[in-house]
Amino acid sequence: MGGGWKPWHSMAKVLILGCLFTGFLLLFYAYVAPLQVSMTEPPAGTSCSPPTPPVNSSSGEGSCRPKTDIVFMKTHKTASSTLLNILFRFGQKHRLKFAFPSGYNDFNYPAFFKRSLVHNYQPGDCFNIICNHMRFRYPEVRGLVAPDATFITVLRDPARLFESSFHYFGTVVPFTWRLTGRDKLAKFLQDPHRYYDPKGFNAHYLRNLLFFDLGYDSGLDPRSPQVEAHILEVEQRFHLVMLQEYFDESLVLLKELLCWELEDIVYFKLNARRASAVPRLTGELYRRATAWNQLDALLYRHFNASFWRKVEAFGRERMAREVASLRRENERMRRICIDGGRAVDAEAIQESSMQPWQPLGTKTILGYNLKKRISQRHQQLCRKMLTPEIQYLIDLGVNLWVIRLLKYIREFLRW
């Protein structure tokens, strides 16, 4: 056996899964999704006035009230799962109202966001936090939150983001199936136009994904004046654009902006890939990947510059101090919570509730084991900090029947 059999086996898996999945999606979008749509839309922003809990801080100057109305535009492959965990915890702590999707962990992505996709949405409803994946559509989101809600998002160096997206989503982008050889990414980047089909299924994952997620046309000519206009629009709409490469600095800016406490932004890296599964992009490939994602590169360049202006305004030394204390606190929590002190491969994770969702066909995403003995005081926080996105959503009461079904199919096919 061996040699000749295996490729057929995996090919059959791809076919079966492909058919099931497509059939299923058709069914879903044709019959189930529309049922959840309510018909009337209220005029934007009518009933969303912020609740004003009178907080009386006696700490004098510098005191502020924690902001609780937040739109997090969750981009793909940008450490956004880690930030999601932070928002989930904060929302629970303050008993905030989340706008969650229904059935799945995104708002019908890659279709544009619509208010009616929010679980149990009634016209006029108002929410504190929106943070699941969506393709951004500002007016729709705007109407769901208080006028003074804070809008945030995360960007990442587009070449690295592209590499990550290629790894994570490559198998669900059919035109990549024609790529042969060991290093499919290098092959693709040698001559992207030969493979890339902008109209292909899931094509958006493999070019200018940030632009796409933010709701813009990811196929724009980089010389078009619209590109700059879009970038400036993002700048106007978002109060903070964080960078994955400077995640800790970003969190410190976030904490300042939202008047949060250090405890609120403590984190463990979630949904990270095993280091051996992360190839280094060499100079030439890096350059090609950047050129291929030119719109995202322009976007990133703009916000990289504005990020450092913000750090400058915050104070370099103050930033260094705050980053150091965040890292100390993360380290302290690591010793308290994590068995073995580090992330492990999927096979080594004991509790299924700690098992992260894996990309199709691989098991490269790492997870954690909780320590067996954790003091009462830290028990809950540790568990929350380590719970992967899907399980956390379920804990928060989101019905993820689509995900559960996919999970059964994958377990059945051992994929």
Binding residues for ligand NAG, per CB under 6 A? Answer: 54, 56, 157, 304, 308
CB neighbours of 222 closer than 8 A, spacing ≥ 6? Answer: 294, 295, 298
Cβ at position 396, least distance to ligand NAG in Å: 31
Say if residues 173 and 203 touch (Cβ distance below 8 Å).
yes
Cβ at position 56, least distance to ligand NAG in Å: 4
**In angstroms, rounded to a whole number, what is the distance separating the alpha carbons of residues 231 and 325?**
33
Say if residues 387 and 353 touch (Cβ distance below 8 Å).
yes
Cβ at position 318, least distance to ligand NAG in Å: 18
68 or 105: whose CB is closer to ligand NAG?
A: 68
Cβ at position 278, least distance to ligand NAG in Å: 17
Say if residues 214 and 300 touch (Cβ distance below 8 Å).
no
160 or 167: whose CB is closer to ligand NAG?
A: 160
308 or 357: whose CB is closer to ligand NAG?
A: 308
Tallying the residues shown for the chain, one arrives at 415
**In angstroms, rounded to a whole number, what is the distance separating the alpha carbons of residues 229 and 376?**
52
Indicate the SS3 state at residue 365.
Answer: strand
Cβ at position 391, least distance to ligand NAG in Å: 33
Indicate the SS3 state at residue 151.
Answer: strand
138 or 308: whose CB is closer to ligand NAG?
A: 308
CB neighbours of 207 closer than 8 A, spacing ≥ 6? Answer: 162, 192, 196, 198, 218, 219, 292, 293
304 or 379: whose CB is closer to ligand NAG?
A: 304
Say if residues 110 and 139 touch (Cβ distance below 8 Å).
no
**In angstroms, rounded to a whole number, what is the distance separating the alpha carbons of residues 280 and 142?**
39
Cβ at position 101, least distance to ligand NAG in Å: 32
56 or 122: whose CB is closer to ligand NAG?
A: 56
175 or 307: whose CB is closer to ligand NAG?
A: 307
Say if residues 390 and 357 touch (Cβ distance below 8 Å).
yes
Cβ at position 168, least distance to ligand NAG in Å: 21
